[in-house]
Chains A and B, each alone.
Chain A
Amino acid sequence: MPGSEFYGNLMFWIFAIMAVAPGLGILLCKDIVRQAFWLLLSLAGFAGLYFTLEADFLGFTQVVVYIGGILILFLFGVMLTHRMDIPLKDVKGFNLVLPGIIAAGAFLASIFHLIYHTQFKTDGAQETPTTIKEIGEMVMSEYLLPFEVVSVVLLVALVGATYIARRGDEEA
């Protein structure tokens, strides 16, 4: 189709900017709730990137897990505590500049190292009309054991959370 390559690139850049640019917002914003909503934009951008890669299941999972689960949990935590700006005077100060530079430099170096040494496949994968079917078959056959292990781990976490909540209740 004419223009579809341009269109694909356009979508990629929109979502790429949407995924990365909110990072600045998170850094520069003082209100923690606004930071959370910047994070929402970033997570949505990542979901969009998955969609452009035709990984629709992954994209929806990103939405349901990160936006629907983690971000709401995060906002809950913020709302049940005090509304306040992050006290900037505590993190300001020259004694933090050097460690900050070292940490940022180390992170940049490791990222650069990773990008430089990864072999990126440029030929696209085979397009699958229904990803969910493939995923279901793989989970139920080849990856059955990891799938079961993961579900047991989640169950343990769930039981643990209930136990902690219950114990707190009895003490009070």
Chain B
Amino acid sequence: MSLSLSLQSLLFKTNAWLAQAEGTTPAPEGGEGAAPTEGAANAAGDATKEIVEAAPERAFMLNENSTSDESGAPYIESAITYVLNVEQSSWWIAAFSMLLACLGVFGFINVFALFAVWLERKVSAHMQCRLGPMEVGPHGALQTIADGIKLTVKEDIIPKLADRPLFILAPIIVFTGTFIRFVPLPFGPHLNAIDLNLGLFFIASVGSVEVLGVIMAGWASNNKWSLFATIRTATQMVSYEIPIGLTFVAVIVSAGTLSLHGIVEAQEGWFFNWYMFRNPFLAVLFIVFFIATLAECKRAPFDLPEAESELVSGFHTEYSGIRFALFFMAEYAAMYLVSAIAVVLFMGGWYTGIPMIDEIGMNTTSEVTPWLGLFIKAHVLIGKALTLVFLQIWVRWTLPRVRLDQMMYLCWKVLLPVALLCLVGSAFWDLCMGAFSDEKDYFMMIIPK
């Protein structure tokens, strides 16, 4: 799945590059500022070369006309083309840059999972007046690495009565279902694998692949507890996708774009421009989103799918070794993913909320400051996301588990109506605020000319 999807997006880019090389579509607007075109006499090849050469400067110009095209894989692609000194990019360069971008995301997921497991253990321990892991490394910091090594060398057990191919395939599908949702996710300005126009819709749609993987795992295990957990998981995840989807729609209505880059850039400026503070309805939706994502990540108080006291350990009861590790990595990656999405949608993404700090590295000709700005912004985004991850851990070790009927009640009778009301309310709020401010021409946006 992941491979085919990345290849598909690669195909888009290939076509886009092709179109650019043939001059059928104009070059991105951001290019004009950084590298003024010298007359209209440019041949197709020259135009491409100029785009490629202009890319490094342009990528960090985050001002008004910054297009999000030059990020992630296409950016790596232009860099490779520049280094190799070839005039045109070819499909294998595009493929290779896509692979590099995906490897970057994969590396991040690995490191984050290592860190998050350690954090979870330490936070839970301190909340219960324990010390947690202390032996391996300072304050047990290397404990997860030791655990990881242990898991990889463990015997890989497949139950005799399990459905063997599905049993083997399931953890891979669960992991890729989480992994491909990282593709449009920004880690900072222009720091994402690929910025899709339909970024938010992509995240919402491929989330269902993970549910299928869980169903596959539970079914293939041929185990009562696994099957119960599977049905619980599928019910829970499918139900809670609806409030999450409505939240997405409300933010899309406010931002006017589905691109995660565009949504962050709509929240530029002081921190009261963040959607969390700009609009009271969106503030409520932020809470709805947080609760719903707790359920989506199968975390307490919604950890019914792996309720230890009832179901042994849920849908991955029969799994051991590296396959078990894959499930866990997917789970912790999903924790970061939903937190980062919440940050992008409501908490201003990579913006600190103080324009003076955000302006570092913008509109300068110096070579150092753009990188400094990027460094700060990436750390701001990841820092905010980690705060939410900490909040998730905090909630998990504070609240007791809800019952199944309570879980369904909360979703369908509380979160769903609230989300619907807030969607309508936030649309009206934007309309009314737009009428009184000249910052954005809301009415012109809505009424076709």
Give A contacts to B, CB under 8 Å: 1-4, 6-8, 11, 14-15, 18, 31, 33-34, 37, 40, 44, 48, 51-52, 54, 56-57, 59-61, 63-64, 67-69, 71-72, 75-76, 79-80, 127, 129-132, 137, 141
Contacts and interface: CB of A to CB of B under 8 A. Distances in A.
10 contacts: A2-B88, A37-B166, A37-B216, A52-B11, A56-B197, A68-B209, A68-B238, A75-B212, A79-B215, A80-B231
A64 B12 contact: no
A45 to B, nearest CB: 8
Contact of B14 (A7, A33, A64): A7
B375 interface: no
B196 to A, nearest CB: 8
Interface residues of B, number: 48
Contacts of B163: 31, 33-34
Contacts of A52: 8, 11
Contacts of A64: 201, 204-205, 208
Nearest to B227: A79
A51 B202 CA distance: 12
A40 B209 CA distance: 10
The 10 closest A-B pairs by CB, nearest first: A68-B208, A64-B205, A51-B8, A7-B91, A60-B205, A63-B205, A1-B18, A130-B197, A3-B91, A4-B14
Contacts of B165: 34
A2 B38 CA distance: 26
Contacts of B11: 7-8, 11, 51-52
A79 B219 contact: yes
B230 interface: yes
B387 interface: no
A65 to B, nearest CB: 9
Given A1-B14, A76-B231, 16 more contacts: A4-B15, A31-B163, A34-B165, A44-B4, A48-B8, A63-B209, A64-B208, A67-B209, A68-B205, A68-B209, A68-B238, A75-B212, A79-B219, A79-B231, A127-B15, A131-B197
A75 B201 CA distance: 24
Contacts of B201: 57, 60, 64, 132
Interface of B: 1, 4, 7-9, 11-12, 14-15, 17-19, 21, 24-25, 88-92, 163, 165-166, 169, 196-198, 201-202, 204-209, 211-212, 215-216, 219, 227, 230-231, 234, 238, 241, 258, 448
A68 B90 contact: no
Contacts of B90: 1-4
A169 to B, nearest CB: 13
Contacts of B166: 33-34, 37
A36 B360 CA distance: 53
B46 to A, nearest CB: 15
B234 A72 contact: yes
A85 to B, nearest CB: 12
Contacts of B19: 127
B198 A56 contact: yes
Given A79-B231, A132-B198, A3 B92 contact: yes
B206 A63 contact: yes
Contacts of A131: 197-198
B296 to A, nearest CB: 13
A80 B206 CA distance: 25
A59 B5 CA distance: 11
Contact of B202 (A60, A72, A79): A60
Contacts of B89: 1
Contacts of B209: 63, 67-68
A14 B4 contact: yes
A68 B242 CA distance: 12
A72 B15 contact: no
A129 B25 contact: yes
A22 to B, nearest CB: 14
Contacts of B202: 60
A126 B208 CA distance: 31
A44 B3 CA distance: 12
Contacts of A11: 7-8, 11
A33 B241 CA distance: 24
A54 B198 CA distance: 12
Contacts of A79: 215, 219, 227, 230-231
Nearest to B245: A64
B197 A72 contact: no
A132 B197 contact: yes
Nearest to A12: B11
Nearest to B210: A68
B8 A75 contact: no
